[in-house]
Structure formats: structure tokens, C-alpha cells
Amino acid sequence: MKIEKILLPFDDSVHSQNAAKFALDLAKRYSAHVSIIHCYEEWNASVAEIPEKLIMEIRANARREAEALLQRTEELFKNQGIEYSLECVDGEPGHVLANRSKSKQYDLIIMGSHGHSDIAGLFLGSVTHKVLNTIYCPIMVVP
């Protein structure tokens, strides 16, 4: 199997940190590029009583928190001699990852078995479970 592009969903959970270490090791072995993404959902309020300025501030804070989270994982990847990119994506993680896999841009998705979801699946995290059921490329699940 040829591995040139790896997609690494990251939420800063212990399992995604383990997946990041595994992705780093594979990227070194195969000289692969790692696309590290963090999915977050902007707050879409439809309550008329909430001022638009406050809604925009909440959305900006969500984006800043997502970017800060990715900066923490960058510490693992920088100065390691591999190519990587960081991206914050607004959207539900299961849908975002399924759509990314459909693009056929990636040779492999490496993700943690569980994330920070409050509603976890019975054996796997809910996002991991959703991705496994809709994925269009190989996936490696790391405990």
C-alpha cells in the first residue's frame, strides 16, 4: 500500500493524541504528508432576543479555541522532518470526515477510537463509529 497523504482528525483527547503519534511515525516511514484537522461546530442561534454581536463573538471564540487546540498538536509535528498542514473545519465531525474521504485525496485516515464526545458509542466513539460506516478509504483506529 502506498501512503502519501494521511488525514488525522484531532480533538486533543488521549486517543487522538495516540493517533497523532502513530500518524507521525507512519509519515516518517513513508515520507507522507499529514493533514491534521479539528472539526468544531459554530453556534447557530435562532433566538431573536440574542444580539447579533454576541452571536458573532461566540462564533469567534469557538474558532479561536479550535485553532488553539490545533496549535497544541503542532508541537508534536514541527521539527520532525515531515510535511503537515493544520485546518479548523466548521461542521459535524462525522459528516466532515466522510466527505473528506469521498474526495479520494487521502490514502489513509488515522483516528482515535474515542474522542471528547459526551455521547459515546457502545464500543467506539460516536464519531469513529459514524466514519467507519461511511468511509471511502482505509482507516486506522488507534486506542
pLDDT digits (tens, 9 = 90+) for 88-104: 998 888 888 888 888 88
Domain map of the chain by residue range? 5-142
Burial class from Cβ neighbours inside 10 Å (0-12, 13-18, 19+) for residue 73 reads buried
Q: What percent of the chain has pLDDT over 70?
A: 80
Q: Positive or negative CA dihedral for 55, 58, 64, 65?
A: negative
CATH architecture of residue range(s) 5-142: 3-Layer(aba) Sandwich (3.40)
Tell me if residue 38 falls in helix, strand or coil: strand
Which one has a higher pLDDT value, 43 or 61?
61
Give the torsion sign (CA, 122, 95, 139, 14).
Answer: negative
Q: Which residues contact 139 (CB under 8 A, 6 or more apart)?
A: 101, 108, 109, 110, 111, 131, 132
How many Å apart are CA 35 and CA 129, to the nearest integer?
A: 21
For the chain, the straight-line distance linking the first and the last C-alpha, in angstroms and rounded, comes to: 22
| Inter-residue contact 34 to 28 (CB < 8 Å) | no
Please tell me the predicted confidence (pLDDT) of residue 122.
Answer: 39
This prediction's pTM: 0.82
Distance CA 85, CA 7 (A): 10
